[in-house]
Amino acid sequence: MLRYFLLCAALLAVACNSDKPGGIPGPSPEPSGKDIVDQVSQYDARPFDGEKRAGVFYEIYVRSFADSDGDGIGDLNGVTAKLDYLDDLGVAGIWLLPIYTCDSEHGYDVIDYTAVNPDYGTLADLENLVAEAHKRKIRVILDFVPNHTSHYCPWFVEACKSAGSPYRDFYHFSQTAKPGWIAVPSGTTDWFYQGVFDRSMPDLNYGPAASCEQSGAFVALTDAAKFWVGKGVDGFRLDAVKHIYDSDTSDENPTWLGKFYSELNAHFQGKSALGFKDIYMVGECWMATEQMAGYYKGLPALFDFTAWADRLLYAIQNDHAKWFPKDMIAEREVFAAERPDFIQATKLSNHDESRARTEVGGSHAVSLQRCKMAAAVLLTSVGSPYIYYGEELGFFGDKTEKGGDRNVREPMLWKP
């Protein structure tokens, strides 16, 4: 921990005299390129020695990463073709954004949890990707969506037809028009369903958290996840874990997550091609430190959004690092109180955020040096680091501008 403090202090030491704990000053004047060069030591890249350190994961949006057949859409075979590139980077794991059949570009409206999106290839292509990744000692984890399905999912289609459908309890239905609920489009049209994110993504219903493992939806989801474990997949990134139950501060979501993890981990035993004892499972939990900590009761790993990444980028952008190391050490103590062996998944940006280089200065001359500084902290401090594809090349991308998500999910550049 002392090494972490000294590293952050050395990399982020700046001229800031604020004595207010956690104080956030106004933006400082832009330093010149020479100022940044003077503050950050410059090193020539050294050849990779083949030893993968820190268990670095690499996040891939398959649609935009690599196109193997020239149809203009990235695919699984394209990812496989670039595994040597990832291996040379020292990547120890890849996280694939949703690869299932869906009705969108983003893929989070899953139609079939055990079918590969035909735009991306076939099940055989996925199995080949996993096998080739394992040859390079690279783990493969899939994005998994436990909160909702597509409205085209056969479970939902059948559930709408009749109040007596065996899939009726898979979702939240009511004959009362509750705020935000959506009218059933066909079948039992005098009913309404819950779809917090969008009408095209009805929320799954697991019943009381204490007995959720008995629900049809829970069994179906775990069976789907077990299917992928059987195909060699090493784990999952769980989407929107704070939304599975309506109250994100109750113990319901951590309870559900703990049962899901336990069920899958028991199934995973003895199946790891790389010799790992436990399945890897990390949750997307966009919450403040104190609220997020409780989710470690359910999962061993969580992404840290509001504390680690936001504060690091702010510190670098605004030359204000006085409280960053202290705050991060305090945060880890909060997490450890809930789960001593917690895994803090760290990153600079991902598919839902503006690119890190844009956040720290965009096209300004100093932004590249700031990104190098941020990467140095990411890759040498505590936690399990993730790199979003293209980040290693200094990609720009502003989600707040016209185009939104597409601005941060642009095609990978394989040629100058």
Note the pLDDT tens digit of each residue in 170-219. Answer: 999 999 999 999 999 999 999 999 999 999 999 999 999 999 999 999 99
pLDDT band at residue 360 using 50, 70 and 90 as cut-offs: confident
Q: Do the domain assignments include residue 416? A: no
More confident residue, 372 or 11: 372
Point out which residues pair with 144 in neighbouring strands.
Answer: 238
Q: Do the domain assignments include residue 395? A: yes
- Asked if 232 and 348 sit in the same domain, the reply is yes
Inter-residue contact 11 to 373 (CB < 8 Å): yes
The yes-or-no answer on residue 239 being catalytic is yes
CA pair distance 215, 200, nearest whole angstrom? 23
- Asked if 255 and 329 sit in the same domain, the reply is yes
* Catalytic residue, candidates 59, 87, 125, 239: 239
Q: Do the domain assignments include residue 188? A: yes
Q: Output the furthest CA–CA distance in the chain (Å, rounded).
A: 71
Buried b (16+ CB within 10 A) or exposed e, 373-407: bbbbbbeebbbbbbbbbbbeeebbbebeeeeeeeb
Q: Do the domain assignments include residue 131? A: yes
Q: Do the domain assignments include residue 413? A: no
The yes-or-no answer on residue 84 being catalytic is no
Which residues, including other chains, have CB under 8 Å from residue 309's CB and lie 6 or more apart?
Answer: 346, 347, 348, 349
Which class for 3: exposed (0-12), middle (13-18), buried (19 or more C-beta within 10 A)? Answer: exposed
pLDDT in tens, 314-342: 888 888 778 888 889 999 999 999 999 99
- Residues 272-296: what's their mean pLDDT? 95
Q: Do the domain assignments include residue 132? A: yes
pLDDT band at residue 21 using 50, 70 and 90 as cut-offs: very low
CA pair distance 386, 383, nearest whole angstrom? 10
**Percent with pLDDT over 90 in the chain:** 75
pLDDT at res. 36: 38
Q: The domain spanning residue 54 has which CATH number?
A: 3.20.20.80
Q: Do the domain assignments include residue 415? A: no
Query: What is the tally of structural domains in the chain?
Result: 2
- Asked if 300 and 397 sit in the same domain, the reply is yes
- Asked if 306 and 165 sit in the same domain, the reply is no
- Asked if 164 and 198 sit in the same domain, the reply is yes
* Catalytic residue, candidates 67, 87, 284, 391: 284
Residue 25, pLDDT above cutoff 70? no
The tally of CA atoms less than 13 A away on the side-chain side of residue 205 is 16
Residue 229 phi, psi dihedral angles, 5° rounding? -60, -40
pLDDT band at residue 3 using 50, 70 and 90 as cut-offs: very low
Domain membership of residue 165 as a residue range? 148-203
Which residues, including other chains, have CB under 8 Å from residue 165's CB and lie 6 or more apart?
Answer: 158, 159
Residue 189 identity: T
Q: In the numeric block, which tokens belong to residue 95?
A: 């996280």
Helices (H), 367-414: 367-380
CA–CA distance from 387 to each of 34, 55, 265, 379, 402 (Å)?
27, 11, 25, 9, 25
pLDDT in tens, 95-122: 999 999 999 999 999 999 999 999 999 9
